[in-house]
C-alpha cells in the first residue's frame, strides 16, 4: 500500500507538470484552433533560462523572471512567425509551430553545455513523511504551483475583461471583433500565457534532475493529455493531466508485475494507451465542450 | 453629444478576394440621431457597406478599392474594428451571433470591452431597455429564444453607448410580434440619441421607423429618398412591400404574366 501511495503521489506531481503544459496547448488551441507544437521548446528554454538566472537572483525570483522572459519570447514568436500566417490553413500553422519548436530548442540547447545544468530548486530529491508515505517535496511543490495557476487562470477568464474577451474570441472571432475585441491581441496574449506556463512546467520538470538535450521529451506526454481531456477544455486539461501522470507512474511502479516481458518503457507507453482507450469511448476527449443548441 | 456628426461612405467600391465586386460606387449618409434604412435583395451589397463602415471587411478578404468611409470629416476607412468601436460605431452582425456558451451578463460585459469604465451605467441602461435580459442575466445565452438573442445582440452593442448603431437584418427569422418588439426598441434607442443604419429585407418594418431610405441593387444605390416618399413609391410598394398600386394586396393569381422582379439598374 505504501508503495502504491508513493507511486501515486509521484504521479500527481508529474501530472501537475503535464497540466501546466497542457493548459498552454489548450489556451492556444482555443484562441487560434491550432495545436502549437512549440510548447516543448518553451518548456526547455524556460528551465534553461531559470538555471542561468538562479545564481544571480536566487531561485524564486529566477522562476518569476524566467516565466516572464519565456512569455515574452513566445509573444515575439507569435508576432514574427505566426501572425503573418493567420487565415492560412490550420495545418500550415501547426507545421510552422514545429519549425519554431526546433529553432527554439536548438538555440536553447546551445546553452546546456557539458556541465550538469540545474535550476537550483530547494527541493532536490528530498522527501517528507506524510502518514507513512515518503512523498517527494518537488512533487508537492509542483502540485501547489499547479493549483495556484489553475485558480488564477479561472479567475482571469471569469472576472477580468481581457479574459472574458479571450473566451468570446474563442467562441466567435467575428462577433468578438464587432465588440471591439482585438483578435490580434488575443492571439498574442494566448501565446504569452502558453509560453509562461511551459516555462513554469519546465522548472518543475527540471527540479531534482540536471537538464540535458533531451529534456523536452517530457513535454510530449502533454499531447495525449490534451487529447484525453478534450482539446478545448481547460478543466479537461487539469483532470487529464493528473490522470495521465498517475497512470504513467503506477504503470512504471508495477510494470515488472504486470508486464514481466517488457522493459521499463511501459510507463512511457501508458499515456498513449490511455489516450486510445479514451478516444474509443469518447471521441472528443473526456471534456470536449458540447455545443449549446437550442431546440 | 456635441456637434452633429455624419457617418458616411462616399463612392465606395469594395472587392472580395480581389475579384468579386460587391459595392460599386455606393454613397450614403447616416446623420447623428436619425434612422436610415438600407433596403435591397440578397447580394445587393448591403452587408458589405456595413462591414466597410465598421472595419470588418478585412477578415472577409474584402478591401476598399475606391472611395472612403467618413466619420464627420475624418477618413476612417483604414481603422480597425476596435478603433471604430471606440469612436462609437458598433456593428450588430446578421444572425445575432451571441456568445452561446457565455451567460447573458458575460455577453454584455464583452460588449463593454471598449468602454470598461462605464460598465455599471451602461449595464443599467441596457437592462432598462431590455428587462427580459435582466431576468435571464445568469442564464446561458445559447438557451435564449431567437428574439431574446437578438435583444442580447443589440444590447451587447449598446454597452459602449455608441453614437452609431449598424443593424444587419435584426428581424431575420423572428415572429411578427417579436419583429414589432425589436422595431420599438430601435425607435427607443434612436430616441436616446444613437444614429441607426438599419439594413433590412423587411422593408415594411424598416420604412415605418426610418427617416431616410436607400435602396441597393447589385452593389449600387438606386434610390435615395426620405422614407415617407419611399413608402409611397409605386415600385417600392409593389416590389418590396407586396402591395398593389391602390394599396391592397396583390396576388400573382391576378397577374396575367409573372413579371420578373423590378430592376432599376442593369
Burial of A74 per CB tally in 10 Å (0-12, 13-18, 19+): buried
Q: Of the candidates A48, A18, A54, A6, which has an alpha carbon nearest to the alpha carbon of residue A218? A: A18
For residues A210 and B260, which has the higher predicted lDDT (pLDDT)? A210
Question: What CA–CA distances, in Å, run from B49 to A54, A173, B25, B60, B226?
Answer: 57, 20, 11, 13, 19
How many domains would you assign to chain B?
1
Position B153 in a domain: yes
> What secondary structure, in 3-state letters, does B96-111 show?
CCCCCCCEHHHHHHHH
DSSP string, A242-255: HHHHHHHHHHHHHH
Question: What CA–CA distances, in Å, run from B77 to A57, B38, B54, B81, B160?
Answer: 50, 20, 9, 10, 21
Q: Above pLDDT 70, what percent of chain A?
A: 97
Position B1 in a domain: no
Report the alpha-carbon distance of residue A110 to residue A104 in Å, rounded: 10
Position B147 in a domain: yes
Structural domain for B30, as ranges:
6-254
Query: Which DSSP state fits A111?
Result: T
Contact B145 A294 (CB under 8 A): yes
Contact A179 B98 (CB under 8 A): no
- Residues B13, B45, B185, B124, CA torsion sign: negative
Contact A178 B54 (CB under 8 A): yes
pLDDT at position B42, please? 86
Select the residue from A159, A180, A187 to test the B interface by mutation, using most B Cβ atoms within 10 A: A180
- Residues B123, B127, B129, B133, CA torsion sign: positive
pLDDT at position A252, please? 87
Q: How many CB pairs under 8 A join A and B?
A: 83
- Secondary structure class of A110 (helix, strand, coil): coil
Position B25 in a domain: yes
Contact B99 A172 (CB under 8 A): yes
The per-residue pLDDT string of chain B (266 residues; one tens digit each, 9 = 90 and over) reads 457 789 999 999 999 999 999 999 999 999 999 999 999 888 899 999 999 999 999 889 999 999 999 999 999 999 999 999 999 999 999 999 999 999 999 999 999 999 999 999 999 999 999 999 999 999 999 999 999 999 999 999 999 999 999 999 999 989 999 999 999 999 999 999 999 999 998 888 999 999 999 999 999 999 999 999 998 888 887 777 766 555 555 565 555 444 555 566 55
Q: Cα torsion for A211, A268, A93, A229, to the nearest 10°?
A: -120
Question: C-alpha angle with apex B251: B247 to B255, nearest 5 degrees?
Answer: 105
Paired strand residues for B8? B29, B70
Contact criterion met (CB below 8 Å) for A290 and A233? no
- Secondary structure class of A117 (helix, strand, coil): strand
Query: Which DSSP state fits A292?
Result: P
**Residues A141-176: tens digit of each pLDDT:** 999 999 999 999 999 999 999 999 999 999 999 999
What is the model's pTM?
A: 0.89
Contact A165 B110 (CB under 8 A): yes
Segments making up each domain of chain A, as ranges: 2-217
Partner residue facing B143 (CB), from A168, A172, A292 = A292
Tell me which of A76-90, A276-290, B215-229 is least confident.
A276-290
Instruction: Kindly state whether A86 is in contact with chain B, defined as any CB-CB distance less than 8 angstroms.
Output: no
Query: Which DSSP state fits A83?
Result: G
pLDDT at position A293, please? 53
Instruction: Kindly state whether A291 is in contact with chain B, defined as any CB-CB distance less than 8 angstroms.
Output: yes
pLDDT at position A290, please? 58
- Indicate the average pLDDT of chain A: 91
Q: pLDDT grade, residue A289 (50/70/90)?
A: low
For residue A228, the distance in angstroms to the closest alpha carbon of chain B comes to 22
Alpha carbon distance, N-terminus to C-terminus of chain B: 42
**Residues A232-274: tens digit of each pLDDT:** 889 999 999 999 999 999 998 888 777 777 766 778 888 999 9
Alpha carbon distance, N-terminus to C-terminus of chain A: 51
For residue A184, the distance in angstroms to the closest alpha carbon of chain B comes to 11
Tell me which of A220-224, A283-287, B150-154, B214-218 is least confident.
A283-287
Contact criterion met (CB below 8 Å) for B199 and B46? yes
- Secondary structure class of A211 (helix, strand, coil): strand
Partner residue facing B106 (CB), from A164, A180, A182 = A164
Q: Above pLDDT 90, what percent of chain A?
A: 69
Among chain B, residues having any CB pair with chain A shorter than 8 Å are 54, 56, 59, 61, 80-82, 84-86, 90-93, 97-102, 106-107, 109-114, 116, 140, 142-145, 156-157, 160
Position B17 in a domain: yes
Paired strand residues for B217? B220
Provide the 10 A C-beta neighbour count for residue B228. 13
Report the alpha-carbon distance of residue B35 to residue B197 in Å, rounded: 6
**Distant-in-sequence contacts of B185-190, Cβ < 8 A, 24+ apart:** B185/B129, B185/B130, B185/B151, B185/B154, B186/B35, B186/B154, B187/B35, B188/B129, B189/B129, B189/B154, B189/B158, B189/B165, B190/B33, B190/B34, B190/B35
Q: pLDDT grade, residue A284 (50/70/90)?
A: confident
pLDDT at position B1, please? 46
Instruction: Kindly state whether A257 is in contact with chain B, defined as any CB-CB distance less than 8 angstroms.
Output: no
Query: What is the domain-level CATH number for residue B130?
Result: 3.40.50.300
Instruction: Kindly state whether A174 is in contact with chain B, defined as any CB-CB distance less than 8 angstroms.
Output: yes
Amino acid at each position: 500500500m505504501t508503495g502504491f501511495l508513493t507511486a501515486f503521489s509521484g504521479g500527481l506531481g508529474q501530472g501537475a507538470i503535464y497540466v501546466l503544459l497542457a493548459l498552454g496547448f489548450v489556451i492556444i488551441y482555443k484562441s487560434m484552433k491550432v495545436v502549437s507544437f512549440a510548447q516543448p521548446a518553451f518548456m526547455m528554454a524556460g528551465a534553461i533560462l531559470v538555471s542561468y538566472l538562479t545564481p544571480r537572483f536566487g531561485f524564486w525570483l529566477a522562476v518569476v523572471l524566467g516565466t516572464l522572459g519565456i512569455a515574452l519570447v513566445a509573444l515575439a514568436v507569435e508576432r514574427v512567425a505566426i501572425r503573418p500566417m493567420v487565415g492560412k490553413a490550420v495545418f500550415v500553422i501547426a507545421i510552422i509551430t514545429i519549425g519554431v519548436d526546433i529553432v527554439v530548442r536548438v538555440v536553447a540547447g546551445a546553452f546546456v553545455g557539458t556541465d550538469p545544468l540545474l535550476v537550483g530548486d530547494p527541493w532536490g530529491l528530498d522527501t517528507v513523511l506524510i502518514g507513512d508515505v515518503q512523498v517527494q517535496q518537488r512533487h508537492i511543490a509542483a502540485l501547489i504551483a499547479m493549483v495556484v495557476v489553475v485558480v488564477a487562470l479561472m479567475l482571469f477568464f471569469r472576472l477580468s475583461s481581457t479574459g472574458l474577451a479571450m473566451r468570446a474570441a474563442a467562441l466567435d472571432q467575428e462577433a468578438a471583433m464587432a465588440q471591439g475585441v482585438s483578435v490580434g491581441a488575443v492571439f498574442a496574449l494566448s501565446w504569452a500565457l502558453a509560453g509562461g506556463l511551459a516555462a513554469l512546467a519546465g522548472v518543475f520538470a527540471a527540479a531534482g534532475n540536471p537538464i540535458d538535450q533531451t529534456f523536452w521529451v517530457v513535454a510530449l506526454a502533454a499531447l495525449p493529455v490534451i487529447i484525453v481531456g478534450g482539446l478545448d477544455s481547460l478543466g479537461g486539461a487539469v483532470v487529464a493531466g493528473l490522470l495521465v501522470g498517475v497512470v504513467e507512474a503506477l504503470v512504471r511502479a508495477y510494470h515488472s508485475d504486470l508486464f514481466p516481458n517488457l522493459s521499463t518503457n511501459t510507463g512511457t507507453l501508458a499515456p498513449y494507451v490511455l489516450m486510445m482507450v479514451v478516444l474509443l469511448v469518447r471521441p472528443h476527449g473526456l471534456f470536449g465542450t458540447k455545443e449549446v443548441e437550442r431546440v | 453629444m456635441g456637434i452633429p456628426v455624419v457617418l458616411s461612405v462616399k463612392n465606395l467600391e469594395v472587392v472580395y478576394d480581389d475579384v468579386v465586386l460587391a459595392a460599386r460606387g455606393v454613397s450614403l449618409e447616416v446623420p447623428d440621431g436619425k434612422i436610415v434604412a438600407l433596403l435591397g435583395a440578397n447580394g445587393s451589397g448591403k452587408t458589405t457597406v456595413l462591414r466597410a463602415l465598421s472595419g470588418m471587411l478585412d477578415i472577409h478578404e474584402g478591401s476598399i478599392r475606391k472611395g472612403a468611409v467618413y466619420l464627420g470629416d475624418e477618413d476612417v476607412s483604414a481603422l480597425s474594428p476596435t478603433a471604430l468601436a471606440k469612436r462609437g460605431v458598433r456593428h450588430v452582425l446578421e444572425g445575432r451571433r451571441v456568445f452561446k456558451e457565455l451567460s447573458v451578463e458575460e455577453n454584455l460585459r464583452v460588449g463593454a470591452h471598449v468602454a470598461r469604465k462605464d460598465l455599471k451605467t451602461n449595464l443599467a441602461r441596457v437592462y432598462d431597455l431590455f428587462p427580459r435580459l435582466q431576468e435571464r442575466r445568469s442564464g446561458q445565452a445559447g438557451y435564449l429564444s431567437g428574439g431574446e438573442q437578438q435583444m442580447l445582440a443589440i444590447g451587447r452593442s449598446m454597452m459602449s453607448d455608441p453614437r452609431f448603431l449598424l443593424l444587419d437584418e435584426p428581424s431575420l427569422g423572428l415572429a411578427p410580434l417579436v419583429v414589432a418588439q425589436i422595431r420599438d426598441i430601435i425607435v427607443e434607442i434612436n430616441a436616446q440619441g444613437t444614429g441607426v443604419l438599419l439594413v433590412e429585407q423587411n422593408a415594411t418594418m424598416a420604412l415605418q421607423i426610418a427617416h431616410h431610405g436607400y435602396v441597393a441593387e447589385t452593389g449600387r444605390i438606386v434610390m435615395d429618398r426620405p422614407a415617407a416618399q419611399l413608402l409611397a413609391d409605386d415600385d417600392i410598394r409593389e416590389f418590396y412591400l407586396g402591395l398593389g398600386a391602390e394599396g391592397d394586396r396583390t396576388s400573382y393569381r391576378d397577374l396575367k404574366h409573372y413579371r420578373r422582379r423590378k430592376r432599376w439598374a442593369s
